[in-house]
Structure 1
Amino acid sequence: MDPPQRLKMTPQRRQILSVLRSRHWHPTADEVYAEVRREIPRISLGTVYRNLELLARAGLIQKLATAGPQKRYDGNPTRHFHLRCRRCGRLEDAPVQEGFDPLDFLTDPAGYTVEGFVLEYQGLCASCRRASPEDPPSRPPSV
């Protein structure tokens, strides 16, 4: 991972950061764009995409590589884990115990130098469960 870069804080970047840091879910670039346009109506989608990339490279946000079709963005750049709804794709922070580190469970990295990992819990969010209570909760097998 590249070291964080210093980045001039333009009004567009400030507004994008504000949107990301005020949400507990992790929006796509299109969702960030829709929110930012409320404050900066003339901003383009391309400007939002470019600034999301710059903010991620600077270490101010995270670009999340998840199982969903679109990249999502997180205003919290510290290491933490996520919950993803398997029906609607909503992605939010997972409440885990303080000090939990999945690397503690890696017993034999088979010659790898481990540089990182992705941990994403999956299930149904409260809204999707309410919309379809007959869909029984499923527990995926542990990998």
Structure 2
Amino acid sequence: MSAEALQTALAKLRDAGVRMTPQRHAILSYLLKTMSHPTVDEIYKSLEEKFPNMSVATIYNNLRVFKDVGLVRELTYGDASSRYDANMNEHYHAVCTNCGAVKDFYYPSLAQVEKEAAKATGFEVSSHRLEVYGLCEDCRIKQ
């Protein structure tokens, strides 16, 4: 995480009228530093020592605020826990079908797919999401 990314995120929250608390700052910093697409439980466990009185509900509430302001996206995969991604640049995800790990990958924009989908369906397409599924390197080695 660059200091610039954190400052930009903090300014976005300030502009939205969101008050900065130590817990909110810690959650945001953690999300900007990690590449792991953590679950709420993973965020909680990583911050629990520094904030022993912080509840899981606090994390959920802050993630909702971050999502509403456009600082994180929620990644849902069926019945599994949601994962959170603070990388708002256009990118896609590879998901391990064994352990659930999620990794970013970059590929040329699929804007043309959105145009074709809009034309074929009459939808006003606002976004798209691409994921590929398989076994991550660690799971392949274990097999």
**TM-score higher than 0.5 here?**
yes
Per the alignment, residue 13 of structure 1 pairs with 24
Residue 116 in structure 1 maps to residue 124 in structure 2: no
Query: What is the TM-score with the length of structure 1 in the denominator?
Result: 0.79
Q: Name structure 1 gaps, 5 residues minimum.
A: 133-143
Q: Name the structure with the higher helix share.
A: 2
Q: Name structure 2 gaps, 5 residues minimum.
A: 1-12
**Residue 19 of structure 1: how far off its partner (Å):** 1.4
Residue 63 in structure 1 maps to residue 83 in structure 2: no
Residue 52 in structure 1 maps to residue 63 in structure 2: yes
Q: 1:23 aligns with which of 34, 37, 40?
A: 34
CA contact (8 A) 1:63 1:73 kept: yes
Per the alignment, residue 101 of structure 1 pairs with 109
Per the alignment, residue 140 of structure 1 pairs with none
Work out the number of aligned pairs and report it. Answer: 126
**Residue 68 of structure 1: how far off its partner (Å):** 5.5
Question: In percent, how many aligned pairs have the same letter?
Answer: 34
Of structures 1 and 2, the one scoring higher in RCO (CA 8 A, sep 6+) is 1
Query: What is the TM-score with the length of structure 2 in the denominator?
Result: 0.79
Query: Which residue identity is paired with 1:105?
Result: V
Q: 1:38 aligns with which of 35, 41, 49?
A: 49
For the aligned residues, what is the CA RMSD? 1.8
CA contact (8 A) 1:28 1:70 kept: yes
